[in-house]
A and B are shown apart, each in its own frame.
Chain A
Amino acid sequence: MATQTATLPAAVPASVGVLLPAFTLWWREVVRFYRQRARVVGVILSPLLFWIVIGSGFGTSFRSGQAAGQQNYLDYFYPGALVMIVLFTAIFTMMSVIEDRNEGFLLSVLVAPVPRTAIVLGKVLGGTTLAAIQGLIFLVFSPFVGIHMTLASFGLIVLTVFLVSFALTALGFAIAWPMDSTQAFHAIINLFLIPLWLLSGALFPLSKASQWIRWIMYANPLTYGVEALRTLMYPEAPSSFSFEFSLTASILTLVLFALFMFGLAFVLANRRTTKPAA
């Protein structure tokens, strides 16, 4: 064997490592996204519409309540809308895991000498990048809701957006990995992810909710993302915004959430199955 193939260059190095394959998968994720213009427009415009339409609608209806005060409901809703952009981008980006599987792309990655860690890392960081960029683009509107950021608070906002993006993308990966149909994925989004967002304090404050809803909101990691952003954006906010957690506690919770989700995605992707799909 050795003699007849010796004329070929020894192209493949002994160890491929994690970084190069992870980089290339990340790169593909990002390039693909921006080559599909409809997707780019969709993820920016739909939450913007959502923010303005729902925010204005709710704002007027609930004006009588003390939550509104002189602070516009649009302001209150702003961090929630940002988290929504991040959620949608992160989750929909990970739908590509299912598409990749149904085409042959994922197979060609799985037969390459690439550690599964690199696959999870590349994919998740790709989705994270897109989600975080989309979220940060939304910050363009922040002057309209009277948000004045210092360099420090801007840095912390970027960190929070990154953490939320990473955790949600990893969650999306973990959901998408065992699936073979995008329809089922949509079902999960409606059943699980939309409620996750609704009960994150994005639409209504924690303190105003009934007891059992509050418990759900405490258990919901997204609550901490929304809280952290709101704390950073409105440092001198009225009491009606009801901060319950310190910024540090929120961010630490997000870090744990992100690590847990990545760990879950990692474990799922590392299972070697006897089933045909993976």
Chain B
Amino acid sequence: MTSNPSAIALAPPEAPATQANSAVIAVRGLVHRYQDRTALNGVSFDVRPAELFGLLGPNGSGKTTLFRILSTLMVPSSGAATIVGLDAVRQPGALRRHIGVVFQAQSVDLKLTAYENLWHQGHLYGLRGPELKKRIEEILTRVGLLDRAGDRVETFSGGMQRRIELAKGLLHHPEVLLLDEPTTGLDPGARRDLWQYLQVLRDEEHVSVIVTTHLMEEAERCDRLAILNEGNLVALGTPEELTREIGGDVILLEARDPQSLADRIRSKFHVDASVMDTHVRLEIESGHRFVPDVVEAFPGEIQSLSVSKPTLEDVFIHRTGHRFWNEEGEAAAETGQKKKAKKR
């Protein structure tokens, strides 16, 4: 059975004809409202085959809602999402066979061994017997934990537990892997390993990977990105495309009275200057030439100054007019936020 390609129902007859061959995931006008707020406000995008696609956004941007809709856990208020041509609302049962999902929250059972966790998971997907055993050994080898197969997962480190999560998501050979902030709570080494593994998956097994994140440096490793803010899609493209569109440099000036400084810069240089906390922010062509002029023009008022190439954070500011993190320390409280975000 494993070697018979005709047994794969990859292009099921119920797949709509409009489904472009180039899109594995098609999201169209997705709207979702909770009682008191709109979490998604008409989001559309495509994900291509074997693409590492990032959903970047601060907490509350709607990315978790979107993730839940794509993983068939929630029904959107309106709009549609299809994965491999199957509708997430109308054909959840068929769709679930084709996706692997790794949640932010822990889904491995700590009281079971690594092998037992995967054995259990395999049964949920209708795998059994020697075929399942072979596959479990294969995937444990893949994530480098075959020698720990008989140990209870509660004895594993955070990074190893995360690898078991990943193994669970991949056990049934999904064409699409959905991961919700998979590196939460991992140390830098384990984060790097995980991302490398996602790239291997994309390159060698041609799995389309969708990963939500609120970390810029992770977003930069994606092939393409959708940036969400307050339920709206504010940017879509490769990290390079997105940062290139800002053009030139980003200059940050620290000043005692940033508001007045920004006003005067605007009238004197005819550039768009915005205020961010204690800083004046400028997006400008050839920043190195502008710097001496501005320092010269306002002697003693600028306390510090930086010139940098635009980052994804700048893309976010450029598109939304505010910082990625609205509250101080929100990024630092990332693990604490995890629980809260889940409850909402």
Contact (Cβ within 8 A) A272 B75? yes
- A23's nearest neighbour on chain B, judged by CB, is B123
- Closest residue of chain B to A14 (Cβ to Cβ) is B9
Q: Do A12 and B1 touch across chains, with their CB atoms under 8 A apart?
A: no
The answer to whether B109 and A28 have CB atoms under 8 Å apart is yes
* Contact across chains for A110 and B73 when beta carbons are under 8 A apart: yes
Check A113–B96 contact: CB distance below 8 A: yes
Tell me the number of A-to-B contacts counted with CB atoms below 8 Å. Answer: 147
Query: Is B107 a contact of A9 with CB atoms below 8 Å?
Result: no
Known: A11-B173, A27-B120, A276-B344. A113 touches B93 (CB 8 A): yes
A16 within 8 A of partner (CB) = yes
State the CA gap A180–B101 with chains docked (Å).
Answer: 22
A274 vs B32: C-alpha distance when bound (angstroms): 9
> Is there contact, CB below 8 Å, between B126 and A10?
no
Residues of A within 8 A of B270 (CB): none
Least CB separation from A112: chain B residue: B124
Complex: A273 Cα to B35 Cα, angstroms: 13
Is there an interface contact between B103 and A12, defined as CB atoms closer than 8 Å?
no
In the complex, A9 Cα to B34 Cα: how many Å?
Answer: 40
> Which residues of chain A are within 8 angstroms of B5 by Cβ–Cβ distance?
6-7, 10
Chain A residue numbers with a CB within 8 Å of B105 are 102-104, 107
Q: Is the interface of B mostly helix, strand, loop or mixed?
A: loop
Which residues of B sit under 8 angstroms from A108, Cβ to Cβ? 101, 103, 107, 121, 168
CB-based nearest B residue for A36: B111
Question: In the complex, are the beta carbons of B206 and A5 less than 8 A apart?
Answer: yes
A8, A15, A21, A276: the one within 8 Å of B68 (CB): A276
Give chain A residues whose Cβ lies under 8 Å from the Cβ of B112: 28, 31-32
Q: Within the complex, which residue of B8, B75, B84, B120 is in contact with A24, where a contact is CB–CB below 8 Å?
A: B120
In this complex, how many residues of chain A approach chain B with their Cβ under 8 Å: the count is 47
Interface centre among A15, A115, A180, A275 (most CB of B within 10 A): A275
Question: Are the C-beta atoms of A1 and B344 separated by less than 8 Å?
Answer: no
A8 touches B205 (CB 8 A): yes
Residue of B nearest to A272 (CB): B75
**Interface residue B45 (Cβ < 8 Å from any Cβ of A):** no
Taking CB atoms, residues of chain A closer than 8 Å to B97 are: 12, 113
Q: Which residue of B lies closest to A277 (CB)?
A: B343
Task: Report chain B residues within 8 Å CB of A8.
Answer: 8, 173, 205
In contact, B10 and A111 (Cβ under 8 angstroms)? no
With an 8 A cutoff between CB atoms, is A13 at the interface? yes
Please state if B74 and A10 are interface contacts (CB–CB under 8 Å).
Answer: no
Do the beta carbons of A9 and B101 come within 8 Å of each other? no
A120 to chain B, nearest CB (A): 14
Interface mask (B32-59 → A, CB under 8 Å = 1, otherwise 0): 1010000000000000011000000000
Contact mask for chain A residues 15-53; partner B; CB cutoff 8 A; 1 contact, 0 none: 111001101110110011001100000000000000000
Those of A133-159 within 8 Å (CB) of chain B: none
- Assuming the A-B contacts A1-B84, A35-B111, are A11 and B49 also in contact, with contact meaning beta carbons closer than 8 angstroms in the complex? no
* Chain B hits for A31, CB < 8 A: 111-112, 116
> A9-B3, A20-B126, A104-B104 are known contacts. Are A274 and B75 too (CB-CB below 8 A)?
yes
Binding site for A on B (CB under 8 A): 1-5, 7-11, 21, 24, 32, 34, 49-50, 64-65, 68, 71-77, 84, 92-94, 96-97, 99, 101, 103-109, 111-112, 116, 119-121, 123-128, 131, 135, 168, 171-173, 175, 205-206, 342-344
Given known contacts A23-B123, A105-B109, A107-B103, what 20 new A-B pairs fall within 8 Å (CB)? A1-B175, A2-B10, A5-B175, A8-B173, A8-B205, A10-B1, A11-B125, A11-B127, A20-B123, A21-B126, A25-B120, A27-B120, A35-B111, A104-B107, A113-B94, A113-B125, A115-B93, A272-B75, A273-B75, A275-B34
A-B contact pairs, 10 of them (CB 8 A): A1-B24, A2-B8, A10-B8, A10-B173, A16-B126, A111-B73, A113-B94, A113-B96, A274-B75, A276-B64
